[in-house]
Amino acid sequence: MPGHGNHRVRALPSPVPAIALWWCALDASAGERAEDAALLADAEHARAARFGRPELRDRYVTGRALLRRLLGAALGCPPAAVPIVRGTRGRPRIDAPGAPDFNVTHTRERSLVAIGLGARLGVDLEHRERPADSTRLARKFLSSDEQRALHAYAPALRHERFLRWWTCKEAMSKATGDGLAAPFGALTVELEPRFALRDGPAPYVPDAWQLWPVAVPDDYLGTLALWLDATPPAA
Ligand SMILES: CC(C)(COP(=O)(O)OP(=O)(O)OC[C@H]1O[C@@H](n2cnc3c(N)ncnc32)[C@H](O)[C@@H]1OP(=O)(O)O)[C@@H](O)C(=O)NCCC(=O)NCCS
């Protein structure tokens, strides 16, 4: 993919050649923030203005601007001109024939962006120290097979394993656009020895999906989901 020309963005190794993965730092100087803001569309400024906390607003502005730079480099157009629209259930996509698909996830001051052709993409990023009641959430979001597998891990490993399942399911829900409406508890993902969807209701059927752990820096866990059956970035 062509250069994005920004020191706050770095390429991560991608398990799939047609898909580029980018790691973005969302902290910025005042000067950088002003340059970032200049790239946003009116609707993005309106969204930024709705964030109650200044740090969340600033991260959104920088995240969007870095995303626009990456997509602009991929499309060969100025960042501010990238036609980002909201599709099904708010899933963002590029409104241009033959455009690549993309997806973004952010946690704390970092974001992970996937851009590529050949599949609908979903990414999810969590911080390993994310406070979460894994046991309670596992009952809600993990299938019974996954809950059994979770409890077979040593207690010290369970939180990290739970977060890995979480990122798999979130990434799939973001590839389809289902988000919160995805049938999380009905999906069974195998973490070992294969890293793959094992069972689920359509469209979450194993043959249609690939899951990949993303090599993000140590304190984070990232997962990329590829929905291979999808009509490329449809509404
Ligand atoms: C948007 C959603 C899909 C994910 O949100 P999240 O995990 O809080 O946030 P992430 O940082 O991973 O992703 C947010 C980004 O996804 C994108 N997005 C928004 N809606 C989306 C959708 N329906 N599908 C795919 N991507 C979407 C946007 O780019 C958004 O970033 P932006 O707000 O800066 O534009 C939302 O439905 C959600 O909150 N899901 C949580 C469901 C849950 O609890 N799952 C438990 C699994 S075990």
For the chain, the C-alpha Rg in angstroms (whole number) is: 18
As its CATH architecture, domain 9-118 has: Alpha-Beta Complex (3.90)
Quote the CA–CA distance of 129 and 5 in Å, as a whole number.
32
Residues 6+ apart with CB under 8 A from 199: 143, 145, 187, 188, 206
Instruction: Identify the pLDDT of residue 231.
Output: 63
Return the residue whose CA atom lies nearest to atom 36 of ligand 1: 179
> CB–CB of 123/171 below 8 Å?
yes
Could you tell me the pTM of the whole model? Answer: 0.94
CATH, domain 127-227, list 1.10.340.30, 3.90.470.20, 3.40.309.10, 3.30.70.100: 3.90.470.20
- Where, residue-wise, is CATH 3.90.470.20 in the chain? 9-118, 127-227
Measured in angstroms, how far is the CA atom of residue 5 from the centroid of ligand 1?
27
pLDDT at 233: 47
Question: Using a 6 Å CB cutoff, which residues line ligand 1?
Answer: 60, 63, 89-92, 103-106, 124, 141, 166, 169-170, 173-174, 177, 179-180, 184
Which of 150, 165, 170 best tests ligand 1's pocket when mutated (most atoms within 8 Å of CB)? 170
CA of 179 to the centre of ligand 1 (A): 6
226 and 234 Cβ atoms separated by less than 8 Å: no
pLDDT score, position 5: 59
Side-chain half-sphere CA neighbours of 210 within 13 A: 13
**pLDDT by residue, tens only, the chain of 235 residues:** 444 658 899 999 999 999 999 999 999 999 999 999 999 999 999 999 999 999 999 999 999 999 999 999 999 999 999 999 998 889 999 999 999 999 999 999 999 999 999 999 999 999 998 887 878 899 999 999 999 999 999 999 999 999 999 999 999 999 999 999 999 999 999 999 999 999 999 999 999 999 999 999 979 999 999 999 876 444 4
